[in-house]
Amino acid sequence: QRRVHGETHQYIYTLGYSPAYRPRVLPVVFVIMATANAAGLSEVDGDGVPYDSIREIDEIREKKQKPVISHEVGFGAPCNKCGDKCPGFDLHFWRKICKNCRCQPYDHDIKSSDRETARKIGRLFDDEEHQEKYSSFKKFTLVMPDVEASPSSPEIDFTFEWIPHNVSNNVAIKYMQSMPLEQQPIVGSAGAIERTRRLNEQLPSHDQDPQFCDQLTPVEADLLVQYVKQYKSQAIGIGQVDENVTGSKWVCYKCHSTMLSGDVAVFANKAGPHVCWHPRCFTCRTCNDILVDLIYFWSKDDSGKYDVYCGRHYGNLHKPRCTACDELIFAQQYTHAEDCDWHLKHFCCWQCDIALGGRQYVAKSNHPFCLNCYEMLFAKMCSTCNNVIAANDPRVSHKNNYWHKAPGCFRCSHCHNSLINKQFIPKQDQPFVFCSKKCRSALFPRQSISSVLD
């Protein structure tokens, strides 16, 4: 049991062992079940029975389902990016990526329930105003023209996973029509998949609650709780959609263009009553992604300019983020390398997870590799001695040919004189180099010299 915000939370843990990506076996703690009362939401199940709170959702789920280890969620789901190259989703136990293809969980076809989405969003808000906006987590049907059909086609019913709250059907339709088709969360469409991606990418669960983080110390967990309290009281909000029915001069905060009578706009309460955006312009200032479900974080950047951000990049404004585990860093000491930040314990080889503190490593695509893994995955073979060129060995390259930078390897293919720091003549598309035309002609007498390179 654990005391959080004056309430008792119960957790059941099981200890397992995972040798994956470790040279030795390490204990791993998997959370099987947690009972929380983060924010009171109400939901309707398949039988039309309302749920009064997240706690009740948990209780019903425990009765109907067997406990599931967190690493079993989505196991085997196909990757939408890699296709058949990925054998299926297998969660890395602290990196929060697929062990097989290294893609993010939201890149896989993992089915999430409305209840889990309600829990995710419910954790963001404590006040009754925002809880009410998500009090009925259901599908919404709007009658709209089919944009992919001919202009004369009749209007049809579209069922959405989400629409703006507290607006008329007419305003909701105008809002959806103002969005790109691929961003409209129509049930079963690419827009619904895109909404799920943005929910997980813009609002990381590990930015909301210590239970989703990798073994925080008590001090770090308390700092995360304080960080969450701070953004709940000062930064987070849900945009309100309104229609310009009076012809007032509304100016978009992002593109600075004027909105016409009949246009719809998004207002953010934290920004003030007269600040608004076009629906397409209501995007995170950092990643320029449309803010999912109009959930925004109002903050200023280093220059002092205020703007809206997604949850992820709001966090990045205030705390460093670990490149390995994707969590915000609340520890006083951490590693900064390759223009990235890392928990001390997470500055590890991208392939085998061996700790790199005090070790030599090679960075590739912003990921650090130990020398052994780098040589196994990316090492080049010397065109002369046919041995591996170690990651820390100097080398010479020309197009797709490589040599040790040593007199015995990078040498004339005929007379064997060293070519280090000298001009040489290559044999096109072949691993031969020569010190002179004479040596070139001696080995290839009937072929002309194509080029002389430094």
pLDDT at 21 (0 to 100)? 38
pLDDT at 324 (0 to 100)? 93
Using CA atoms, how far residue 3 sits from 8, 59, 122, 412, in Å, is 5, 19, 19, 74
pLDDT (tens digit, 9 = 90+) per residue, 283-331? 999 999 999 999 999 999 888 899 999 999 999 999 999 999 999 999 9
Task: Check residues 129 and 184 and name the one with the higher pLDDT.
Answer: 184
Quick check: pTM over 0.75? no
DSSP β-bridge partners for residue 140: 160
pLDDT at 138 (0 to 100)? 64
Percent of the chain with pLDDT over 70: 77
Q: How many CB atoms lie within 10 A of CB 417?
A: 13
Average per-residue pLDDT for the chain:
80
Among 14-23, 59-68, 378-387, top mean pLDDT goes to 378-387
pLDDT at 149 (0 to 100)? 54
SS (H, E, C) 79-102: ECCCECCCCCCCECCCCCCECCCC
Task: Check residues 6 and 408 and name the one with the higher pLDDT.
Answer: 408
Query: Is pLDDT above 90 for 23?
Result: no
Task: Check residues 225 and 119 and name the one with the higher pLDDT.
Answer: 225
The region that residue 275 occupies, defined by phi over 0 for left and psi between -120 and 50 for alpha, beta otherwise, is beta
Task: Check residues 366 and 451 and name the one with the higher pLDDT.
Answer: 366
pLDDT (tens digit, 9 = 90+) per residue, 104-136? 888 888 877 777 777 778 888 875 555 555 545
pLDDT (tens digit, 9 = 90+) per residue, 331-352? 999 999 889 999 999 999 999 9
pLDDT at 24 (0 to 100)? 36
